[in-house]
Amino acid sequence: MLAGCGEIKPVYWIQPDMRFKIGRVELEIVRGDITTQGTEAIVNAANSSLMGGGGVDGAIHRAGGPKIKDECAKIRNESWPDGLPAGKAVITSGGNLKADFVIHTVGPVWRGGNSGEGRVLENCYRNCLELADGEGIGSMSFPSISTGAYGYPVCEAGRIAVRTVIEYVSSKETHLEKIRFVLYSEPDLKTYEAISEKELGRRL
């Protein structure tokens, strides 16, 4: 079993990605670099300043170039002068990235699990999905939000991520045809694979 994941067992077969079908929406679990994804949108695990930082946030700003930061600065000035609150999401162009759009969301800092972190993390994923739908986006890639510097345990965060996506695409008509989770490390990949298989059963 995966450490800290209860009864979830790791998936050991080797393949380039794992795919599931939820209605007409394809869910992919892959290991890779979020900045190189060719989906229409990628999601940035941002900090509230929207001005870039470490981890995924810094990597996206570096790869996307100054246009993303300029658009984020405009959003800050016009809509969120005190910073983007945790759980909210905003959208910019993709700058120099392959993706046309970047959806920026601020995840919760892990404080032990009794401070509403789960609800906030769920809001991150749902608000990103709704924003993508509102723009008519057909494909998007998520990183594992809050599991880096913010310290959210991967097992708990992965369950929320996968379940929120399943609930969203199962409950409404959506423009989305492909949703991808992009995990940077092999242990995180195995965790998301195991959670997805437990939640969805047979893979494609």
Whether 16 is in a domain gets the answer no
Whether 130 is in a domain gets the answer yes
In one letter, which amino acid is 138?
A: G
Q: Report whether 129 contacts 167 (CB < 8 A).
A: no
User: At what angle are helices 55-64 and 66-78 packed, to 10 degrees?
Assistant: 110
Whether 3 is in a domain gets the answer no
Whether 4 is in a domain gets the answer no
Whether 17 is in a domain gets the answer no
Return the sign of the alpha-carbon dihedral for residues 60, 91, 154, 11: negative
Whether 12 is in a domain gets the answer no
Q: Report whether 45 contacts 35 (CB < 8 A).
A: no
Tokens of 201: 């059963």
| Domain interval for residue 193 | 27-200
Instruction: Tally the residues of the chain.
Output: 204
- Domain with 57 in it: what CATH number? 3.40.220.10
How far is residue 153's CA from residue 133's CA, in Å, rounded to a whole number?
A: 28
Whether 193 is in a domain gets the answer yes
In degrees and rounded to multiples of 5, residue 41 shows phi and psi of -135, 150
Is pLDDT at 11 greater than 50 in this prediction? no
Please identify which of the residues 57, 82, 133, 188 carries the catalytic annotation: 57
Give residue-wise pLDDT tens across range 82-129: 999 999 999 999 999 999 999 999 999 999 999 999 999 999 999 999
57 among known catalytic residues: yes
Give residue-wise pLDDT tens across range 26-61: 999 999 999 999 999 999 999 999 999 889 999 999
Note if the pTM is more than 0.85: yes
Q: How many domains does the chain have?
A: 1
Whether 19 is in a domain gets the answer no
Q: Tokens 């800050």, residue?
A: 76
